[in-house]
Structure formats: structure tokens, C-alpha cells
Amino acid sequence: MSTEPSHSEPGTDTPAEAVPDTVSDPEADAPENPEVPAKPLLPKRRVGWVFAVAVVFWAIDLVTKNLVVANLEGKEPQRILGGLIYLQVIRNPGAAFSMATGMTWVLALVALAVVIAIVWLSRRLRSIGWAIGLGLVLAGATGNLTDRIFRAPGGLQGHVVDFISAFAPNGKGFAIFNIADSAICVGGALIVLLSLLGKDYDGTSTKDKKKQETQEDQA
């Protein structure tokens, strides 16, 4: 006795062999912890900003030093901006603003370490503000390190060229400095400000990180 394959009539149940092996569950694709927000996409890396800022301000520092050495060394202080600034050439064996005089080679090594640290950190930078700040610090450290290496007496013992005396000549109103010193101070101040505002070097906010960690702990 032969048997014929069963055919479902209209309105009848689907045969067992036609029933799919798996059934889609609407909740299966839902995230396990819907209350925990997904991590935000990180901004682009800003390494280019670091080196662009560093190159520009390093060049400005180098050009201004060469100009004042060529035109003002051995001359009386030049009064400009109504006496707000006096230009005069001072050879400084110490750190910024004539500090740590007599430790020239140590300061050169410190500057070299700063340059290496910034270059290493720049690979992880995603904040434009941090990139500008570190670029300024890099420019200042590199500018003064250039003097340590190439200016007399040379060999990491070179004296840095300072030429900006604020408010009075001969550093009587404020310590004589240069563009590199200014870049270091402005860049450092910017980094401190960003840190106080909770802006991290990777482009995220420290406040958002703490909030997300709290939500993950509670989930």
C-alpha cells in the first residue's frame, strides 16, 4: 500500500517537516545590559597637531634668536612697546628664566627626556587642546636643547640665548627669557587647565569615564 506525501490544506497546520529548526527571539538580539550605554567613538588621533605646533614655534624661536644675536649682541638694550619690552642678548647656562645656572648638561638631558616623552605620548593623543599644549612644550624644549647642542661652548654645554626683558632692562623687572621659555610656560598652563576641566589627553572627559564606570559597576 503506497503512501502519498501529505499536503497541507488551506487553513490547516504546517507539517512537522516544514517547521523551522530555530525560532527568532526578538529579545535574543537585545543587549545583555541595555541600561549600560555603549562606549562612545573616540575622536581622531591628533599627533599631526603636536608636530605642526612644535615645528612652527621651534622655527620662530630659532629665527628670533639668530636675528637678535646678529643685530643686538654687545649693544645696549633696545626699548620697544613704550618700555614694556627691552631686547638684549644674554647667554644663559641655566634653565628657563636663568634658573639652575651651572647645571647645563643636566638641563640638556632633562630637555631630551621631555622631548622623548612627548613624542611617545603623542601617539595616543586625541585632544586638540592637549596636542597644542604638548606641541608648545615640545617646541620650547627642542628650542633650548638646540642651543645646548649647537651654541658655544657646545656638547650639551651650550648657553641658551635669552633676549626678552619685560618692564625694565637687564632683567630688573622680570627674568630675561626667550620664545622657547614662553612656549613651555603657555603649553604647560594649557595642559594644567585642561586637566582641571576634566579633559583627558585621549579626547574623553574624566567625568564621563567615572560615570560610565559607576554604571558598569551597578549593572
Q: Which of 21, 29, 162, 208 is catalytic?
A: 162
- Half-sphere exposure of residue 13: CA atoms within 13 angstroms, side-chain side: 4
Backbone dihedral angles phi then psi of residue 60, each to the nearest 5 degrees: -60, -45
Name the residue among 190, 192, 188 with its Cα closest to residue 96. 188
Residues facing 86 on adjacent strands: 79, 165
Based on the residue annotation, tell me whether 208 is a catalytic residue of this protein: no
Concatenate the DSSP letters of all residues of the chain into one string.
Answer: ---PPP-PPTTSPPPGGGS-S----TTTTS-S-TTSPPPPPPPPP-HHHHHHHHHHHHHHHHHHHHHHHHHHTTSPPEEEGGGTEEEEEEEE-SSGGG-STT-HHHHHHHHHHHHHHHHHHHTT---HHHHHHHHHHHHHHHHHHHHHHHSTT-TT-PPEEEEEEESSGGGSSS--B-HHHHHHHHHHHHHHHHHHTTB-TTS-BHHHHHHHHHHHHH-
Based on the residue annotation, tell me whether 202 is a catalytic residue of this protein: no
Q: Which of 147, 181, 200, 208 is catalytic?
A: 181
* Residues noted as catalytic: 162, 181
